[in-house]
Structures are given as C-alpha cells and as structure tokens.
Amino acid sequence: MSSALKSIRALSDQTRLRIVALLERDELSVNELQEATHLGQSRISTHLGQLQEAGLVQSRREGKRTFYRTNQHADELAREFIQLAIRAAKEMTEHSGDQINLKRILARRREQAQIYFNQVAGRFDRVYGPGRSWQAFGHLLLRIVPPLVVADLGAGEGLLSELLARRCKQVIAVDNSAKIVEFGAKKAKKNGLKNLEFRLGDLQNPPIDAESVDLAILSQALHHAEEPAKALKAAYRLLKAGGQILVLDLQQHNFDKARELYGDRWLGFAESDLHRWLEEAGFKQIEITIVAREEEPPHFQTILASGVR
C-alpha cells in the first residue's frame, strides 16, 4: 500500500519529478537516466531509491544491470501521484530536453538490434546465434509430428529414434549390429523411452510386420545395404497404405576412403538411381532433393528422398 505522505515527500524534489516523467514510457537503466538528464550517477541512484521506497517506481535486474520504470502495479493512490508528477514535470524547462534525449535513447536501443541483424543479413544462417541449433529446430519440428508408428532402419544407437520416440506412438529401431542394438536398447531404457524398441535385423528384410508402420526412415543407412533396391522394396512392404518413406543418404561421391573409414558399401547414390528404385518398389509422389553440402572436403552432399505408398 502506498502512503500519501511518502509520495508527497518523494515528489517534493524537481529532479524526481523529471525522473518519474522519464520512466513513464519505458524502463531505463541508471546510465540511460544519466544520459537523459545529465545528472550524476549517485544522485540518480539516491533519487531512484526514494521513489522506489514510496512505491512510485519499480526495478528489474537483468544480468549486471538494473532497469527502472514507474510502478506498473501501483494502487490507485500511487497512480494518481505518478500522473501528477508527470503533469508537474511538463511545466519544467528541462522537460522538452529530457524527452528528446529519451526518444534518442529508445531509438538507439531499437537500432542496436537492427544494426546486428543488418550486418549479418545474407550470412545469418552461417553465423553463430546463441541458442540456435539444428537440435533445437529438430525438437521444434517434432511438435508438429502426429503420433506415428515409425521404423528407423539402420538406426545405429538411436540418435534419431530417441528424438522421434519422444513424440511418436511407437518407434522400432532396426540394426544388424548386435552390439549397437544392445547399447541402443540399454540407452532407451535408461532414458525411460518405453515406446522405443530395438530389434536386431537386416534392413533388406526388417523384422517388422507387413503394413504396420506409418513412416519408414533410412538415415545414412541405405549406402550400407548390399542391395539398396531390395531395402527400399522391404520398406514399402512394412508401410501401411498412405505411409511414407524418408531416406537421408549421400549424393554420389568419389571419396573412396569412405569404405574403410566409415564401412560404407556404396559411395552415395545418384538421384536418378534412387528415383528409379523407389518407383520400382511402388512408391508414388517421389521427391528427391539435395538438402545439405558440407563445407569441408570432400564436400559430402546429403540427399533427402521421399515417397508415399
């Protein structure tokens, strides 16, 4: 509760009237108030203390700075005093100068953000942005995924499977490495993902019932298959009518060392081959796009292929 006596005392100084008038429009730091009024820092701090004490001004800390503003939760009495103070401040000779300075300070604040974004425009996607990551985008995109039954074929330790399991109805992760399946299953259990099941099997004949899943994913797995066309046919079989296949793989490349370095069976795929195999498997609405190119040599490019059963 504010007190009339305290408010009258707090407003009995012309500088404090100026400060109240400056803090009506937006919050300001002590430095900004100093810039607007050309008064000393310690004087401003003392005045702010008295105004706060009377409940006419509020403060908010952000990092190392404190911002002040007229009390936005003031009761009726305090609100009346704030309005009176502003009226009185308007009668002072300093008022117009204070307001011009205030406008400049607020405009500069807005510009600071714009200057940064103007500077990075055109390369914004490549510069560091605090908190911005593909992982975060992945979580965001997951929120728009309906509760699907998903088969992650050649799932590895389940990086993608785990992400999907947080949103989907069920995820079946298939891999032909017993060690990877064991590790992935343990990790899923530890993370409490009961709807994620690891199965040992080959992506050319996955241990999943026919026509039982909504989405089949092969992420960097197809180039490990002995017969990629057969793997795509197998994926078609386990999809429900209307189900979708998504293949992330490498665009055909000449980096021969990928065989020994990453155990790759194929050096990526030509888009035309992928398209043909998907068509032969029975898929409709086939779309194939290059979605990423690595900056470092050998500049691997990622293909995203999709089709509907």
Residue ranges in contact with ligand SAM by CB under 6 A:
154-156, 159-160, 174-177, 180, 202-203, 219-221, 224-225
Least distance in angstroms from the C-beta of 174 to ligand SAM: 6
Q: Using an 8 Å Cβ cutoff, are 8 and 58 in contact?
A: no
Least distance in angstroms from the C-beta of 74 to ligand SAM: 56
Tell me the CA distances in angstroms from 243 to 56, 71, 76, 212, 239, one per residue in order: 62, 57, 62, 9, 5
Return the H-helix or E-strand segment holding 58: strand 57-62
Least distance in angstroms from the C-beta of 276 to ligand SAM: 21
Q: Using an 8 Å Cβ cutoff, are 17 and 11 in contact?
A: yes
Rg (C-alpha) for the chain, rounded Å, is 32
| Minimum CB distance to ligand SAM smaller for 160 or for 165 | 160
CA distance 84 to 82: 5
| Minimum CB distance to ligand SAM smaller for 58 or for 220 | 220
Residue nearest to ligand SAM (CB): 156
Q: Is the peptide bond before 206 cis (omega within 30 degrees of 0)?
A: no
Return the H-helix or E-strand segment holding 106: helix 95-120
Helices (H) and strands (E) in the chain, counts: 12, 10
| Minimum CB distance to ligand SAM smaller for 201 or for 282 | 201
| Minimum CB distance to ligand SAM smaller for 23 or for 250 | 250
Type of residue at 308: V
Six-digit token string for 127: 């510069």
Least distance in angstroms from the C-beta of 232 to ligand SAM: 13
DSSP code of residue 252? P
Least distance in angstroms from the C-beta of 79 to ligand SAM: 59
| Minimum CB distance to ligand SAM smaller for 63 or for 263 | 263
Least distance in angstroms from the C-beta of 297 to ligand SAM: 20
| Minimum CB distance to ligand SAM smaller for 49 or for 207 | 207
